[in-house]
Amino acid sequence: MNIIVSVDQNWAIGYKGDLLQKVPEDMKQFKEKTWGKVVVMGRLTFESLPNQKPLPNRTNIILTRNENFRVEDAIVCHSVDEILKTTKYCNPEDIFIIGGEHIYKTFLPYCSKAYITKFHKVYPADTFFPNLDEDENWRLIEKSGPRQYQDLTFEYITYENINKI
């Protein structure tokens, strides 16, 4: 499993149910990495998607405690174990955890890599991703050069989990 997320300098990921910043290059990179793959998200993340529709050309898995929650063209699971069973025969490299905060924290120990887009800015935020620079289980393995979008500088950083479950 992998994680893919955009964070600000304080590892914030969202505010009032939305992304901190929509950067076209980052959105394109997200699409390219997850296209044809499995994406795992929480119900609130799903509900924040355009038209509350599953992401196209991906197997969408939604985690919710609501036993009555149904979505056409998506798999709805109600526990971590159910997701692990559902993805058991998938190539682990083809599974991407895409949010939100609780889902990221829950699946972090199961993930091999984290693909982070790091914005060099601080935004108002109410949801956060764990700081991998302070987590002894994760090490930085790749870093792009700085990129620019309007007045925002950002970079792509890849971390590897050295103690994956």
pLDDT in tens, 78-128: 999 999 999 999 999 999 999 999 999 999 999 999 999 999 999 999 999
Helix H or strand E segment including 103: helix 101-107
pLDDT in tens, 28-81: 999 999 999 999 999 999 999 989 999 999 999 999 999 999 999 999 999 999
Percent of the chain predicted with pLDDT > 90: 97
Helix H or strand E segment including 82: helix 80-86
Average pLDDT, the chain: 96
Q: Quick one: residue 27, left, alpha or beta (phi over 0 = left, psi -120 to 50 = alpha)?
A: alpha
Q: For domain 21-92+105-145, which CATH number applies: 3.40.30.10, 3.40.50.720, 3.40.430.10, 3.40.50.300?
A: 3.40.430.10
Domain chopping of the chain, boundaries: 21-92+105-145
